[in-house]
Amino acid sequence: MQSRVSSLEEGKDATARSQSRVFPLTLLKFFALFLFLGLGFSVISMYMTRYFTVHNVVPTTRTSFEPCVHELNNLDRWIKPPSSLIHTMNDEELLWRASFVPRVKNYPFRRVPKVAFMFLSKGPLPLYPLWERFFEGHEGLYSIYVHSLPSYRPTFMPTSIFYQRQIPSQVSEWGRMSMCEAERRLLANALLDISNEWFVLLSESCIPLYNFTIIYTYLMKSRYSFVGAFDDPGPYGRGRYNENMAPEVNITQWRKGSQWFASNRKVAVNIVEDVKYYPKFFEFCQPHCYVDEHYFPTMLSIEVPHLLANRSITWVDWSRGGAHPATFGEADITEAFLKKILEDGSDCLYNDQPSSLCFVFARKFAPSALEPLLEFAPKLLGFG
């Protein structure tokens, strides 16, 4: 009996010792599990904070919020013209960007329409002092763009209105598609300014025949763009047509006109967005087909004939014959000569009504003509 009691007591002692060893082990496992879960939760929290937290949702200062408001709600980046005419867009990118057209015609800001004067030249603008007098006092109503040979480096002073008005240019050759490409390049750059409403193509030998106010009003009130487009049945008209132009252009649609035009914004967009006629003219209008005399007149006569005045507003003298018009130098510039130009071509239509004011620009004037032009401008041309 005593031995059985002893055995029971020894069993109880062994169980107690076993339980005393199990309890610390269980506590250690629980502590380890708690530590593991705590570390895991900390890691997950840091990961969530790093990758999923939206930063600056509620800014702490007014300054940190202003750039976001400017980017989303301010129209300045659409209204203001580019701060610099220099950009890295190629022609394809530029024409695409310039073809953007607002569908809502009521501008949500005070838009003052401007005239874009686009000078297509090889290099210098020898008559620029005359143009500076013409523009004087009319800031905000015009913009200037110059396309010259890429190798030319202008030397205009910072005070000149022509300073830094060169656009990224390429070589253009008379009578070839590169000339029309230069004109489209000028238009596209000018279209980037939403305030430009009219676009006038000029050469370095062009002069204004009236003061700025008269020319500005003449353009702004016109319902039509001034693009010459006529059907010439002779060798220098239809004789230049290539039957490979069909079906886009049939011979009955073939037109000829002066390359020096003045267009409103709608017609300018039509010119830069064209991808239908350009390839045909590029391939099949090669000298003796002079593309700058046919591409725009033909394409616009097909697409938007109701928007064209079918005449030029740039006077030129072809009476001497030859492939190029007459050029006038210092000896030619007299009071009688300028009066003759002003009176010449005094019978045309303006907004479908007879008008005696038909030409507002003239060409071709040599650099030597500058001094007498400056002398006669105040009396005969109304500026200076």
pLDDT in tens, the chain (384 residues): 444 444 445 554 544 454 455 445 565 565 556 555 656 555 555 544 444 443 333 333 444 334 434 444 578 878 888 889 999 999 999 999 999 999 898 899 899 999 999 999 999 999 999 999 999 999 999 999 999 999 999 999 999 999 999 999 999 988 899 999 999 999 999 999 999 999 999 999 999 999 999 999 999 999 999 999 999 999 999 999 999 999 999 999 999 999 999 999 999 999 999 999 999 999 999 989 999 999 999 999 999 999 999 999 999 998 887 778 999 999 999 999 999 999 987 789 999 999 999 999 999 999 999 999 999 999 999 998
Instruction: State which amino acid sits at residue 44.
Output: I
Residue ranges of the domains in the chain?
Answer: 88-101+112-312
User: Would you say 318 and 265 are in contact if contact means Cβ atoms under 8 Å apart?
Assistant: no
d(CA 359, CA 355): 11
Give the contacts of 54 (CB within 8 A, at least 6 positions apart): none
d(CA 193, CA 209): 26
d(CA 96, CA 92): 6
88-101+112-312: CATH topology: Spore Coat Polysaccharide Biosynthesis Protein SpsA; Chain A (3.90.550)
Q: Could you tell me the CA-to-CA distances from 211 to 15, 207, 221, 361 in Å, in that order?
A: 118, 11, 16, 11
Q: Three-state DSSP class for 118?
A: strand
d(CA 260, CA 227): 8
d(CA 77, CA 15): 85
Under DSSP, the state recorded for 293 is G
Q: What end-to-end distance do the CA atoms of the chain give, in Å?
A: 141
> Which tokens hold the place of 6?
């002893």
- Supply the pTM of this predicted model: 0.81
Give the contacts of 168 (CB within 8 A, at least 6 positions apart): 85, 86, 87, 88, 89, 185
The DSSP string of 16-57 is: HHHHHHHHHHHHHHHHHHHHHHHHHHHHHHHHHHHHH--TTS
